[in-house]
Amino acid sequence: MAFSVGSLVHVRGRDWVVLPESTQHEELLVLRPLGGTDDEIAGIYLPLETPVSADFPLPDPNAEMGNHRSCALLRDAVRLGFRSGAGPFRSLSRIAVEPRPYQLLPLLMALRQDTVRLLIADDVGIGKTVEACLIARELLDRGEIRRIAVLCPPHLAEQWQRALTDQFHIDAALVLPSTAARLERDCGPGESLFDRHAHVVVSTDYIKAEKRRHEFLRACPEFVIVDEAHGCAAPVGPGRYRQQRHDLLEGLSRDEDRHLVLVTATPHSGNEAAFRSLLGLLSPKFHELPEDLSGDSNRKVREELARYFVQRRRADLQEYMGTETPFPTQEAAEDSYTLKPEYRKLFDKFLTYCRERVAEPGASAHRQRVKWWSALAMLRALGSSPAAAAATLINRAVAADTETLEEADAVGGRAVLDMDEEATEGIDVVPGSQVDEDEASTDRKRLLALMTEVVDLAGDQDAKLVHATKLVKELIDDGFAPILFCRFIPTAEYVANHLRQKLKGVAVQAVTGKLTPEEREERVADLAGNEKRVLVCTDCLSEGINLQESFDAVMHYDLSWNPTRHEQREGRVDRYGQPNPVVRTITFYGQDNPVDGFVLDVLLRKHKRIRSQLGITVPVPMDTSVIVEAIFQGLLLRKKAEPQQLLLDFAEDPARKQMDIQWDAVAEREKKTRNLFAQHQMQKAVSEDLVVELAEARRALGSGKDVESFAAEVLGSYGAAISKKKNVHTVGLKGAPAVLRDAVGEDEELTICFGPPVPKGAKLVTRTHPVIEGLSALVLESALDAAIAGPARRCGVIRTDAVLKRTTVLLLRLRFHLIAEGGADPILAEDLVLVGFEGSPEQATWLPESAVLPLLDAEPGANVPVEPAREQLERLMEAVPTLRPHLHKVAEERGRELLIAHKRVRGAARISMRGIKVEPHLPVDLLGAFVYLPVPKGGAS
């Protein structure tokens, strides 16, 4: 290629920078306009157009000169426009988030591996999405991968697509049942949609089917992120859907060159075999890990596992590497209600009916099992709400169409219990109790009579609903925006309708599995725009959805029978990015409800105790459905109705005792294992180096505060009207010039904020947002082209009390070739450097950067007439050749510093350092030149 990467060429009437992609084509030159953005990248077909070499022009003293802020504004415009930062983390210049220091550890772990295989299992609400996407973005920017796929539950697909687009500038196609056919219509003959679209977000449940799985395995991108990966573990017992998911991932993992990042907050479901199957996707050797990893004999095993598996508690990360992460404080409480006498009598009738049904003489084992699940469904629904109970009585039993006892257990367990981790979709449907269509007429009459009584006990007769309404009102009065989690769709709708009637001036919405993921998102977004709001939902929103910006309290209206599900519910609001420093959670239960009594005492409180002691989740180490069955067998098969039958004491139950013993043993073993994991040592080893690199990245690229001050100054300089309320800026553009309106993409008004929370209708603006890209390009273009009016100029002369003798400040843009090992194509990197000297150029005394930076904020002390100022700058421009040798040394020194930084990070990540080179592209670009003169005695001009 005639032009090297990073060189300047002139074609089509403007100057351009040659990009690394040019090395991949013999007759195509890929260029970015000098001072332009990535959106303006163009290809030049060399047989038709002939670019010529270009030199970066020096500042023109005859052009309009700038004021004392011109240098700082020009610097900010250039560094905020960088998309090819020179630091060791290539991705930091291209993303719209500022990662927390702890979020770089998985990236370092990934960079240690030739083929990335990681299980990221950090606590709920820590930011696993950012950690996974950061790895993908880094490998893209290093040129190590070209395509990405995210596999996730369908209701999380749009959230992943937004994260990739808004935070990491990766445009991904959504592959769902509703979109796949349209995407395929755009494909050519024999072309897969995965061939056509480089980046995709795919529903795991859609692609796992046999007829689609093989095509995906053939055309799958080389980098795959799997969200909610615990749902892809090998099933223990019957589990067709999970088996399909596991088969899919196993097929992906067989390609030894495919990068695979598994993401879950609950990697261990309590079953060692399922957990080993997840680890086995990372490396086959992990299938046979010892159950107890403690002890010196297992040290190497732990160290090996720590290369692939990262799992950290929130407490480990609140103060990490000198940076405090403001996780909210959770105020957890329990509250209870007592059934009204009428409801309690109805519960007795249900129990009597269920016992008679389950104990039916002469029934086959299968039929008795169907009736057993039907009875449990009744009790579960009655404990939830009259609305759910009524729906149960008229629906057909979920296990009625099964043929074997095993099938009845599999279907009934998924519908009635919460122990199945298959998916959150469909779990809020009310299971039925009608076993046979030809059920005896006496049975039908009893069911109809029960349903009539249930309906009559709704509303104000429902003690659970009445007391919950009181608690919700208290939360709202205390300034909280609560979410109520219900088990069934009818319960959520029933509760929401009641709250709308009782809470005046409060917006209430119900979100259930009846809505599509898109409709759920729209309903939540509409609700978020109200000052006082309550969200009533089912567990369709309990997993993966981020609700912390609009809600800050969780009430478990119905207890889940799965302790992990409770944690997932609370994790929707109790997570990083929650603007309220305090979140509240309420565990709500019935004092005389046998269902709640078992779940609360045997499962939830035990789970919470272990978590508070260890700071981590330890799932129930056995099949909890067995425990549930043992308890309810005792309840349902009890022959004599006792006055205290609803007040059960589980302390002496054998199943409960056995579970406690196993759970405590697993918790103790988990505690030992966590303390021995090698990530702790690795975190300590890299902390200091990461602190240095993150600080350097913020210096080179600009922080969030830099973005806000830059935007405000540029918008104001062009005449935009700016008002600020809290953290929201409203920018009026009607009277602003067309160039500004074009730059920000709006004609009348712009509503923006520079950090969370982001209210409805506002845009979150970061350094990579199109608004900042547009403003940066506008400022730089106006500085490079004197014919365009703008706030930044490339040269100026300022008199100030900040200097005692003539001082010159030069703003340099440096370009480097980063040459990786193995003869890969060079990567273009850019950096900005401020240098300054006292005296004349011929006898310059060069100053340290610490003495130069304060001059950017120096206030003028006197005017400088135009002609003397122009003469000063003309002499400076004539002397630039004299300064060039030193400027080249600056570039070479900065190159050496960058090499050290790259080696420091690679050393921390234990990456091979062979063949790493950083070569400066000379000559350096002199972007700006500003002369500072002392104010004459007496203040004369």
Q: What is the pLDDT of residues 893-921, one digit of tens each?
A: 998 888 887 776 666 555 544 457 888 88
What number is the average pLDDT over the span 268-296? 78
What number is the average pLDDT over the span 308-316? 80
- Residue 802 phi/psi, 5-degree rounding, is -75, -10
Instruction: Quote the tokens at residue 131.
Output: 């950690």
User: β-strand 482-485 against 319-320: which pairing, if any?
Assistant: unpaired
Q: Of residues 337 and 270, which shows the higher confidence score? A: 337
Residues forming a β-bridge with 751: 730
Distance between CA atoms of 170 and 180, rounded to whole angstroms? 19
Of 36-50, 67-81, 451-465, 498-512, give the range with the top mean pLDDT.
498-512
DSSP 856: G
pLDDT at 647: 40
pLDDT confidence bin for 669, thresholds 50/70/90: low
pLDDT at 678: 47
How many other C-beta atoms are found inside a 10 Å radius of the C-beta of residue 341? Answer: 9
pLDDT confidence bin for 105, thresholds 50/70/90: confident
Do the beta carbons of residue 61 and residue 870 sit within 8 Å?
A: yes
What number is the average pLDDT over the span 745-753? 90
Distance between CA atoms of 475 and 803, rounded to whole angstroms? 59
Q: Of residues 153 and 647, which shows the higher confidence score? A: 153
pLDDT confidence bin for 640, thresholds 50/70/90: very low
3-state secondary structure of 778: helix
Distance between CA atoms of 87 and 110, rounded to whole angstroms? 17
Query: Side by side, which strands form the sheet with 482-485?
Result: 329-337, 582-590, 553-556, 482-485, 533-537, 507-511
- Residue 515 phi/psi, 5-degree rounding, is -90, 150
H/E element, 671: helix 654-676
Query: Out of 82-91, 316-325, 408-417, which region has the weakest mean confidence (pLDDT)?
Result: 316-325
pLDDT confidence bin for 233, thresholds 50/70/90: confident
Residues forming a β-bridge with 482: 553
Please name the residues in contact with 925: beta carbons below 8 A apart, sequence gap of 6 or more.
56, 812, 813, 814, 815
What number is the average pLDDT over the span 523-543? 91
pLDDT confidence bin for 404, thresholds 50/70/90: confident
What number is the average pLDDT over the span 176-195? 89
- Residue 836 phi/psi, 5-degree rounding, is -150, 155
H/E element, 10: strand 8-11
Please name the residues in contact with 937: beta carbons below 8 A apart, sequence gap of 6 or more.
none
Going from the C-alpha of 696 to that of each of 139, 314, 828, 898, the distances in angstroms are 21, 26, 18, 10
Instruction: Quote the tokens at residue 320.
Output: 């990490």
H/E element, 928: strand 917-934
- Residue 643 phi/psi, 5-degree rounding, is -60, -30
pLDDT confidence bin for 270, thresholds 50/70/90: low
Do the beta carbons of residue 689 and residue 908 sit within 8 Å?
A: yes
From the list 313, 225, 231, the residue with the least C-alpha distance to 278 is 231
Of 263-272, 470-479, 598-607, give the range with the top mean pLDDT.
470-479
Residues forming a β-bridge with 828: 817
User: β-strand 482-485 against 533-537: which pairing, if any?
Assistant: parallel
How many other C-beta atoms are found inside a 10 Å radius of the C-beta of residue 891? Answer: 22
Do the beta carbons of residue 37 and residue 81 sit within 8 Å?
A: yes
pLDDT confidence bin for 639, thresholds 50/70/90: very low
Q: Is the pLDDT of residue 4 over 50?
A: yes
pLDDT at 78: 85
Distance between CA atoms of 574 and 554, rounded to whole angstroms? 9
Q: Is the pLDDT of residue 110 over 50?
A: yes
Q: Of residues 367 and 202, which shows the higher confidence score? A: 202
pLDDT tens digit sequence for 420-458 = 555 556 678 877 766 665 555 556 677 778 888 888 888
Please name the residues in contact with 242: beta carbons below 8 A apart, sequence gap of 6 or more.
231, 232, 233, 234, 235, 421, 422
Percentage of the chain modeled with pLDDT above 70: 82
**Using H for helix, E for strand and C for coil, what is the string for 547-575?**
CCCCCCEEEECCCCCCHHHHHHHHCCCCC
H/E element, 930: strand 917-934
Instruction: Quote the tokens at residue 655.
Output: 């199943």
pLDDT tens digit sequence for 340-350 = 888 888 888 88
What number is the average pLDDT over the span 780-800? 86
Query: Tell me, what amino acid is at 644?
Result: Q
**Which long-range contacts does 735-739 make (Cβ < 8 Å, 24+ apart)?**
739/778, 739/788
Instruction: Quote the tokens at residue 798.
Output: 């300022």
Do the beta carbons of residue 370 and residue 412 sit within 8 Å?
A: yes
pLDDT at 652: 57
Query: Out of 451-460, 507-516, 596-605, 680-689, which region has the weakest mean confidence (pLDDT)?
Result: 680-689
From the list 847, 843, 857, the residue with the least C-alpha distance to 810 is 847
Return the C-alpha torsion angle 359, 360, 364, 365, nearest 10. Answer: -20
DSSP 434: B
pLDDT confidence bin for 314, thresholds 50/70/90: confident
Please name the residues in contact with 593: beta carbons below 8 A apart, sequence gap of 6 or more.
339, 347, 383, 646
What number is the average pLDDT over the span 783-806? 88
Question: Look-up: residue for tokens 């610097």?
Answer: 75
Q: Is the pLDDT of residue 941 over 50?
A: no
Q: Specify the pTM.
A: 0.76
Instruction: Quote the tokens at residue 903.
Output: 């080696």
Per-position b or e across 688-711, b if 16+ CB within 10 A of its CB: ebbeebbebbeebbbeeebbbbbb
Query: Side by side, which strands form the sheet with 763-764?
Result: 721-725, 728-732, 749-753, 763-764
pLDDT confidence bin for 641, thresholds 50/70/90: very low
Q: Of residues 137 and 449, which shows the higher confidence score? A: 137
Q: Of residues 291 and 843, which shows the higher confidence score? A: 843
User: β-strand 259-263 against 117-120: which pairing, if any?
Assistant: parallel
Do the beta carbons of residue 390 and residue 455 sit within 8 Å?
A: yes
pLDDT at 646: 39
From the list 57, 58, 53, the residue with the least C-alpha distance to 7 is 53
pLDDT at 236: 66
Burial class (CB in 10 A: 0-12, 13-18, 19+), 366: middle
- Residue 11 phi/psi, 5-degree rounding, is -160, 150
pLDDT confidence bin for 884, thresholds 50/70/90: very high
Query: Out of 17-26, 288-297, 572-581, which region has the weakest mean confidence (pLDDT)?
Result: 288-297
pLDDT at 39: 75
User: β-strand 148-152 against 117-120: which pairing, if any?
Assistant: unpaired
Burial class (CB in 10 A: 0-12, 13-18, 19+), 599: buried
pLDDT tens digit sequence for 381-392 = 888 999 998 888
Query: Out of 612-621, 707-716, 787-796, which region has the weakest mean confidence (pLDDT)?
Result: 612-621
Q: What is the DSSP string of 377-398?
A: HHHHHHHH-HHHHHHHHHSBPT
Distance between CA atoms of 212 and 190, rounded to whole angstroms? 15
What number is the average pLDDT over the span 397-421? 71
pLDDT at 918: 84
How many other C-beta atoms are found inside a 10 Å radius of the C-beta of residue 177? Answer: 10
User: β-strand 309-310 against 223-227: which pairing, if any?
Assistant: unpaired
pLDDT at 648: 42
pLDDT confidence bin for 845, thresholds 50/70/90: very high
